[in-house]
Amino acid sequence: MAAPLIGFDTVWKSYGQGEAKVHALAGVDLAIQRGEFVAIMGPSGSGKSTAMNIIGCLDTPTAGTYSFMGIDAGRLDRNRRALLRNLYIGFVFQGYNLLPRTTAAENVELPLIYRGAPARERRDLAMQALAEVGLVGREHHTPAELSGGQQQRVAIARAIVTRPTLLVADEPTGNLDTARTHEIMELLTRLNRELGLTIAMVTHEADVAEYAERTIRFLDGHVASDSRKLEVAS
């Protein structure tokens, strides 16, 4: 088997000192392969959010090794981790995080601006990404002119416009009703299959986790279970 895209080797993350020290992660071993769609679950304080911050190169382990694409990302400095995020990781959040006074297309262009892409290339790629998430005809709408589900589609388009290797999704349906939730999850499933996009998604909802092919549950800083969806033979 190929080397994993994401690897935790006895990863610890601790906060505080002495008797006040808390181990958010306590010696976690974990591997995620390219192209997987993984749901990460667990109660508050279980370690799942800490694990996701390390996966997204937003934080580093206290001890142990976090590897991303074969790189010891946990030992990179802040600037190099920012570069890694910019080049290889897209993020989708519960709150959409769109700029309110800019159009859908302009919001999607933002990661390309950070990369210094020319204006024409930015616009072409933004239009392509918006088409991929089903928003043809909404390119010039501001967030206030879009529904919650449409705003999350814009956020997903912004996350995939750079063709990242990994999409980190933090409660991506937390602000949506049931119908919009399933629309967004069907979209993420399609992007996983069609683009080969690796997705690591935190969710509290069991029906949302069902869309993933694998579910990892954290409890008290440990991986409590790691299960895969059984494929039904046709």
Rounded to the nearest angstrom, the gap between the alpha carbon of residue 125 and the centroid of all alpha carbons in its chain is: 20
Q: Residue 18: its pLDDT value, please?
A: 83
Contact 62, 50 (CB under 8 A): no
Q: Residue 230: its pLDDT value, please?
A: 73
**6-228 is classed in which CATH architecture?**
3-Layer(aba) Sandwich (3.40)
Q: Which residues contact 178 (CB under 8 A, 6 or more apart)?
A: none
Q: Residue 17: its pLDDT value, please?
A: 86
pTM: 0.93
Span of 1-5, 98-102, 116-120 with lowest mean pLDDT: 1-5
Average pLDDT over residues 131-156: 95
Q: Residue 231: its pLDDT value, please?
A: 59
The mean pLDDT value of the chain amounts to 94
234 pLDDT above the threshold of 70: no
Q: Which tens digits make up the pLDDT trace of 32-71?
A: 999 999 999 999 999 999 999 999 999 999 999 999 999 9
Contact 138, 129 (CB under 8 A): no
Average pLDDT over residues 202-225: 96
71, HSE (Cβ side, Cα atoms, 13 Å):
15
Count helices and strands (H / E) in the chain: 7, 10
φ, ψ for residue 120, nearest 5 deg: -65, -40
3-state secondary structure of 209: helix
Distance CA 13, CA 4 (A): 21
In the chain, the amino acid numbered 185 is M
Q: Residue 19: its pLDDT value, please?
A: 81
Q: Residue 233: its pLDDT value, please?
A: 44
Please give the structure tokens belonging to residue 144.
Answer: 């206030």
For residue 15, what are the β-bridge partners? 22
Average pLDDT over residues 99-107: 96
Q: How confident is the model at residue 129 (pLDDT cuts 50, 70, 90)?
A: very high
Closest to 68 measured CA to CA, from 202, 92, 59: 59
Would you kindly state where each structural domain of the chain is located, as residue ranges? 6-228
Q: What is the DSSP letter of 2?
A: P
Q: Which tens digits make up the pLDDT trace of 11-29?
A: 999 998 888 889 999 999 9
Q: Residue 42: its pLDDT value, please?
A: 95
Contact 44, 68 (CB under 8 A): no
